[in-house]
Structures are given as C-alpha cells and as structure tokens.
Amino acid sequence: MSDKPLVKLTIDDVEVQVPAGTTVLKASQKLSKEIPHFCYHDGLPIVGQCRMCYVEIEGQKKLATSCSTTVTEGMKVKTDSPAVKQGQNSTLEFVLLDHPLDCPICDRGGECKLQDYTYEHGPARSRMIDQKELLLKHHPISPEVVLDQERCILCTRCVRFSSHVDGRGELVVNERGSHSVINVFEDRPMESRFSGNVVDLCPVGALTAQDFRFKARPWELRKHSAICTGCSIGCNIEIHTKHRHPGIPRPDGNKPKPKIERLVPRENKLVNDWWMCDSGRWGYHFHNDEHNRLADPMLRRKKGSSLEKVSLKEIQLVIDEASKSAPWEFWIADEASHEEISWAKELAASWTARGRKVETLFNPTEFSSKLVSALSARMDSPWFSGEVRFDGITTVVSTYDSYRTLEDVIPMLALKLGQKVRHEGLKWITRSPTSLYESSDAPGTTAYLVPVPKVDADLAALAKIPATEKLLVLWGAANSRGLLNEGIAPLQAVRSALETATPKGPVVVFGQTSQNAKSTALTDYLKKAPFVVLVDSYASAWTEAADVVLPIEPLYESDATLTNLFNMKQESRGIQIHHPNHESIRRGSASPVSPSLSLI
C-alpha cells in the first residue's frame, strides 16, 4: 500500500482514486482502459515523445500525453473523445510516412504495436505519394542484434535501456529532426550482456534477434511460464515453443516434440524486473539437441564399453551387486530441483531400509560438513532466514572492484546493483576476501557480497562478519541456495575438496543438464569411483563416467521448484511434454518419487 494521499479524478465519466503522483496512463489502467503508447515502459524514464497516448483534459486547450501527466484532484479526463481519436490518427499517419510495408517478412509481425494501433486507431489508407526515405536495413549492431532503421519509430526505448538500465550508453539517436536515426555510438558494436532486452522493448521490428530471425511466427508459438536455469537469480521467463503439426508424422515414429524457439523475460520486480541476461536468453539450445537426450535406462557392462539400453529390472540386479561393496555416496548437482532432492533423500532412505549401506551426508566431503555447519549457524540472520531485499541498503562491500566485474559471475545481480549505484547513490567498496568486514561499517545498511566458501580459510573469513549483518553468498547455479536450505553443501563449494578426494564406494549422482557446463572436478571424481549411477537428462562428461544411466525429463519440460540467490522459492511449470515411448523418470508435483526410480 502506498502512503501517499489519494487523489480523486474522473476518466471517461468513471470516478477513480489513485495515489498522488500517479500518471493519467497508470490511473486509466486501474479502470482496465488501455491507452495506446509506444515510448512508455514501466522500467524506463518517461519522455513522452511518441505522442500516441493523447488524452483530453477538461480546461486544457491542447491534448496531453497521459504517460507524463500526473493526476490532480477533480481532474476530468477523456480517452476516447473525437479530438483524442484525431490526435492518435494523425500521430500514426506521421509515423507511417516513411515506414516500410514489409510486415509479411518482419519478425515482429503478429506482436507489433504499430500493426495493432494502426488497425485500431490509424488511417484506413496512406496519403503518401513521395518516395519513402531509405535507411540502413539488416544492419548487425552486435553478434546477437540486428537493426533496421527504416522500421524504427524513434520511441527511444532501446536508447533509454542502454543509458539508464544497463548504463553503457551504447545506443544513441544520431542526427536531428527528420534525419534522426537510432544507431550504436560511433559505430562500435554493442558489448552489453543484456542486449537482447532491446529486442523485447522495441514495439516494432526495428531491432530483431539473430537467434530468432525467420524461425517462427508469434502465432505459431506456445508460451510456457518457467524459471531460467542459467544462474542463481532464477529470472522469471516464458519459453516459446514451436510444435510440429500433429498430422505430420516424425520419421522415427515418435510423438511430435516441441522445439524451443526463444526465451523471453516475464515481469517480476522482486527478481529480474522486466529483464534477463543474454547468456540465459540464448542458452537454451542444449534442450533442442535430441541426439544427446537421455531417453532410456542404460548400462555399461564393463569399463571402456558403450552404454546399452536395458530394462530397469536388469539395472536393479547390477545395483544389488554393486551394493555389496562400501557404502553408496549420493551427489546432487546445484541445478537439481527440490523435487530431485526429495527423490534422492527418499531413495537413500529406501536403500537403507532394504539393507544397502548409504552415506548419511549428501555431497560428502570433509569440507561439506564444515560448510553446512557454518552457514546453518547463520540461518536466523538477515537474508538467511528470509528473502533478500536491497531496500535500505546504502553500501555494498565486495571482493569485486565494481558491479561491472560482477557481471562475469551473476549478470542480473550486477544489473540490479548497477542501477542503484548510478541512480540511487549506492556506495561500492572493494576489499579482500579475508577482510570484508570492518567495525566502522554502518550496521543494517551495509550488504556483504561474499564469494562461495571453498576452503577452511573462506569459512574463517566469513565468521568474522557478525551474524546480525546482511550477507549474501554469491552462489552461481540455479538451486545452490536450495541445496543449502536442505542441509546439503552445494557442489560449487566442494570443488576444491573433490580435487584430492577419492570415492569410498559406489556413487549415485542426481544431475540436471542446464545452460551451465558440468563440473570437471566431479567428472574426475566419478572416474575414480568403482561404480556410478547417473540420473540426468542429457549426455555429458558425467555420462561417460557412468555405469548406469537413468533418464529424467529436463527442467524446462516439467514442474520444478528452485530456490534462487535471494532465497525465494519459485515454481517453474515448463513445457509439460511427456515422451510415451521412453522409460524416462517423470517429475510431477503429485508424487516426487517416480515409480521407475523406486524400482531400483
């Protein structure tokens, strides 16, 4: 709830109350009235330059731009008067003077605001008789983004994102007046890690993504709400898939499967606002690799031989034989969901009840116990017991020299903090890992960004920070914080310990293929194990070390719960596709343990 006083006004003869300082555009949305607009966006500074969001205000001689006009007590607004309609019609006619008529080949066709508004508010036909101005077309401004200046309507959304949100100022308006064009500054290619967002922001087809160009039409795509698995932020996203026509059979006879065509961000102001990073956006291609998909239970009959498709009954007999040796070790990857963690715990309990020896500690190393103990002692501390919020934080203390350096590790956290540094005066202090805390720091308003502890010295440095201070461990994977909350040391933290460790017995690994590469430390560790059971979705270096492979459906295809860096549990619905011809282990909210898995 806002603590601002309420202002009463009338919009199209309907009375509404909104907090003082609200714009007419936002007030109209409270009445479910959509005023057309191009340049306005909730996450960008207001400029009021597209002149599409005209409204008529009683007592004012000229039409007003609703995006930049704040409400006043007793204001009377008309959004659909003849004067407003004429203003919107004239604006669109002006925009369309030099706009090319290439909708049939434009990637934005079908989700283009200019198309929609022209149909709803624009002129029926063009009065333009002169030759249209020719500008740059199909011009790459980065390896990922293509610019078409002829389609640009100069809403400057992309420019404001580059200057205000990203802070690099790579996109600018060149020239003046009718010669104005959008381009990269001094013809330097964009280097932003967030360049894909300008494609989302563009209301027309002036900026398109190389990755998606000419791949599909928007009306051919199905949208699925999900969570990005590229890093620990857990950006809220939509997965857009294109499906093979059900009347066209696949050559292999299997049921047609969807192909991911693109990922786009969903708004969540507590996590990723309206944005996502490029590595997450274009890191989905592994999912479309059917050749490497693990589809059936497989067994390696002897070291050096190939994996063979076998029945679960045969796998059970092999596991029974391997269980006669030392206790089983259970390992869980940092991308594994909470459902997978539940499977692992229930499987360990089931094996123990059946007389198989199982190590009680998951991801077992000597350092694992120390890490879990040290961080569990802080569970009542700020940001450990609840969700992470940067409200009220005035200073950040980190081992990174700036938020730009942090982009290499967790891009979206760097984007969020970078805006606070540039626009809210957030102070950034750089210190060594062993001396992050100083008693002179302002308590309660200082946040400590701590690298992932990997050795005893890291735990000692962490212990110097009082439990009352706000501390954020920079976990890098999709569910690292979730593992910690379940009492398991994240794989990221035990890599150094793995380098000198040797398995005490056979190993079970719950992996989950995502955009991230597999841990080479665990790969080398698995090669030393006498026997390895791998639960995963795609072939990898871990598969090469496995004696038994049990396939599961990927994160992007089924229900999954992940805890992000900010300690927020988020549900990913995914594509929801079942592969009936495969004996894959299916994740589901009704039963966390698959019948297939319980057989072994």
Per-10-residue mean pLDDT, the chain, length 600: 83 94 94 93 94 94 94 94 95 92 90 93 85 90 95 95 95 91 93 96 95 91 92 94 72 74 94 95 90 89 88 89 89 92 91 90 93 91 90 94 93 96 95 91 92 94 92 93 94 91 92 77 92 92 92 86 94 66 39 50
Residue 596's pLDDT is 53
Residue 259's pLDDT is 87
Residue 4's pLDDT is 84
Residue 595's pLDDT is 43
Rounded CA-CA distance 65/54 in Å is: 5
Please tell me the class of the 382-475 domain.
alpha beta
Q: Does domain 298-368+483-598 have CATH number 3.40.50.740?
A: yes
C-alpha atoms less than 13 angstroms from C-alpha of 30 in its C-beta half-sphere: 17
Residue 304's pLDDT is 80
Report how far apart the first and last C-alpha atoms of the chain are (Å, whole number): 53
DSSP string covering 492-511: GGSHHHHTT---SS-EEEE-
How far apart, in Å, are the Cα atoms of 392 and each of 73, 81, 395, 441, 447?
Answer: 32, 45, 9, 14, 10
What angle do the packed helices 366-376 and 456-463 form, to 10 degrees?
10
> What is the CATH code of the structural domain delimited by 103-209?
3.30.70.20
Backbone torsions φ then ψ of 70, nearest 5 degrees: -85, 150
Whether the model pTM is above 0.85: yes
Q: Where are the beta strands (DSSP E) in 419-506?
A: 427-430, 446-450, 470-473
Please tell me the class of the 6-95 domain.
alpha beta
CATH 3.30.70.20 positions along the chain are: 103-209
* Encoded amino acid at 231, one letter: C
Rounded CA-CA distance 403/417 in Å is: 7
CATH 3.10.20.740 positions along the chain are: 6-95
Residue 379's pLDDT is 87
Residue 153's pLDDT is 94
